[in-house]
Amino acid sequence: MARSAPAGVGLTGILRDPESARSPHCGRDGPMIWASHMKTTLEIDDRLLARARRHASARGMTLRAVVEEALRARLAAKPEAKPGYSFSPPTVRGSRPPEIDVADRNALYDVLDDPR
């Protein structure tokens, strides 16, 4: 259910009453004007503007919609690039293992038990 504004306070009341127009408050404490769009002037290259108008016309859009869509696309947050996978195994210097016959169990134990 929508609440009505206090008596005498509406958009026209705010604009006519200089005291309420200067009020810094919002919500219940004072008047508030919501602006969802802002008018602005841009200087755009004539050829680019002509292309934008043709683009809008071909798609059944307004020029404003084309410009807003282009700005949203350009200003959209880009996904964070993940660094590529890098594998760098540790390098260990050592000597060549002794040549032994792994089928000879006693020779294998002798090499494994050597405390070098």
What is the residue-wise DSSP string for 77-113?
PPPPPPPPP---PPP----PPP---TT-HHHHHHHHH
Interhelix angle 46-59/63-75, nearest 10 degrees: 100
Q: What is the pLDDT of residue 34?
A: 55
Residues 29-54: tens digit of each pLDDT: 555 555 667 788 889 999 999 999 99
**What is the structure's pLDDT at 21?**
46
Residue 74 and residue 68: Cα distance in Å, rounded? 10
Whether the predicted pLDDT of 1 surpasses 50: no
pLDDT digits (tens, 9 = 90+) for 52-104: 999 999 999 999 999 999 999 999 888 888 888 888 888 888 877 777 887 88
> Which pLDDT score is estimated for 51?
95
Q: How far apart are CA 100 and CA 96, in angstroms?
A: 12
Question: CA-to-CA distance for 52 and 67, rounded, in angstroms?
Answer: 8
Better-predicted residue by pLDDT, 35 or 21: 35
- 68: number of CA atoms within 13 Å, CB side? 9
